[in-house]
Structure 1
Amino acid sequence: MNVLRHSVWILAFLLLSGSIGCERTPVAAVTGAKPSTNTAEVRETTFDDLKFEMEKTDDFARSMITPKIEDVFDRKIRIRGYMYPTLKRKGLKGFVLVRDNLECCFGPGAALYDCIRVEMDTDETAEFSIRPIAVEGVLRFEEFADMDGTTRAIYLLQEGSVD
């Protein structure tokens, strides 16, 4: 049942973000995306920077977020990770970025701090890759719950671009 619920929240996010299904208008792929013009404003971040104390069996509470993590919200960051597998391969307007491609993240029970929902910038799209990628965008706190109310993601990267 855990695998099914985990898959359902990913599918729900992909449907809402337009990452699966038919494209309405073709948009240029992000391969070779333009680098940020002001790299001083981009904070290099890792998944370790977003980690907080939480047992897998705990319910999420906003108070778990540390002040150090709060300081990263609403800032432009650059973070490396892997794309969670999608049904669509090109023209992605959104996807889930995970810490690594091992079973801990692609299987059931991934930690909340090990995944980030990514919404691409208006004129950007991405192509699915099994290789590590770097994503740049503005990190926000936004809870994403599945149909039974279980929080499945808490981080959202908006205005995203992929290197």
Structure 2
Amino acid sequence: MPMSSQQRADTEAIDDPGRGPSSGLDRNDRAPSQAPQQASYDQYRVLSMSAVVAIVLGVVSLPALILPSFLFVAGFGVVFGWLSMRRLTKSRDEFTGHRLALAGCLLSVITLVIGGVRATVVYATEVPEGYERIGFYQLQPDPDHPNLPVSPMSLEMDGKKVFIKGYIYPADKRMGLQHFVLIPDLGTCCFGGNPKLTDMVEVTLKPPHTVDYSLRLQRLGGTLKVDKQLKAVNGMEGVYYQLEADYVR
């Protein structure tokens, strides 16, 4: 005897329970148990320390915007941040912090670019017309001339207009200085001891120029004088180099 449509539906429901009246309810009951699976998995991932270091380097590199000596920090931050992002991309199932590493890397990149451009412009324009740039490294004695206490190059520059950068060696007087010793870095000031004889330039500022003692880099221009005999200054053993400065920046 042929089955009615209702009988066929009942038979199909018995053969395939998943299509029965309660199947929709069963599926709804099962779905919520799978939804929080990813969220519960995320709580086992840890923040990558490399991402933290990357953002710290990005922040620490900010002084490079005005201090070229910090540019190496920005450069290191770029490389470290990029390596951190690569590692985190491969280990997303284990670590978080990809956005943090990206932020640190971008901060270092921006600082490196802006600071680098600024330093380049300053270097290219800081020497006034009529002066020749020299550095303390050019004032060091030549091993090939052991009997000469000063560099041969400095003797060639004796009496010429030069431009040199350095830091004021601390003395008793701190304000309105017209006479002081210029040194190449702050290491001697900060850690004690006397600088090398060829790492000192006795500076005399021509009126009305004066400077106040600070840790700021000084840019000076003037006439270089070289003496092969030591000249005592500020209680130190002596200096070989003197600068009569008429340009201060």
TM-score under structure 2 normalisation?
A: 0.42
Q: Of 140, 144, 168, which aligns to 1:51?
A: 140
User: 2:225·2:241 contact (CA, 8 Å) conserved in 1?
Assistant: yes
Q: Does 1:74 align with 2:159?
A: yes
The runs of 4+ residues in structure 1 deviating greater than 4 Å are none
Higher relative contact order (CA 8 A, sep 6+): 1
Higher helix share: 2
Q: Which runs of 5+ in 1 are unaligned?
A: 1-37, 55-59
User: 2:183·2:195 contact (CA, 8 Å) conserved in 1?
Assistant: no
Q: Which whole-Å deviations, capped at 9, do the CAs of 1:110-145 have from their partners, x for residues lacking one?
A: 211111110001221111111111111111024313
1:107 Cα deviation after fit: 2.7
Task: Identify the residue that residue 218 of structure 2 maps to in structure 1.
Answer: 133
- Note closer, same or farther for the CA distance 1:66–1:90 as it changes in structure 2 (3 Å cut): closer
Q: Which whole-Å deviations, capped at 9, do the CAs of 1:67-125 have from their partners, x for residues lacking one?
A: 32211111111111110112222211111100111138863242111111100012211
CA distance in 1 between counterparts of 2:172 and 2:149 reads 33
- Note closer, same or farther for the CA distance 1:105–1:145 as it changes in structure 2 (3 Å cut): farther
TM-score under structure 1 normalisation?
A: 0.61
Q: Which runs of 5+ in 2 are unaligned?
A: 1-126
Choose 1 or 2 for highest CA Rg. Answer: 2
The aligned length equals 118
1:64 Cα deviation after fit: 3.0
Superposed, 1:1-163 pairs within 5 Å as: 39-53=128-142, 63-103=148-188, 107-142=192-227, 143-145=230-232, 151-163=237-249
Work out the percentage of aligned pairs sharing the same amino acid. 28
- Note closer, same or farther for the CA distance 1:111–1:105 as it changes in structure 2 (3 Å cut): farther
Higher strand share: 1
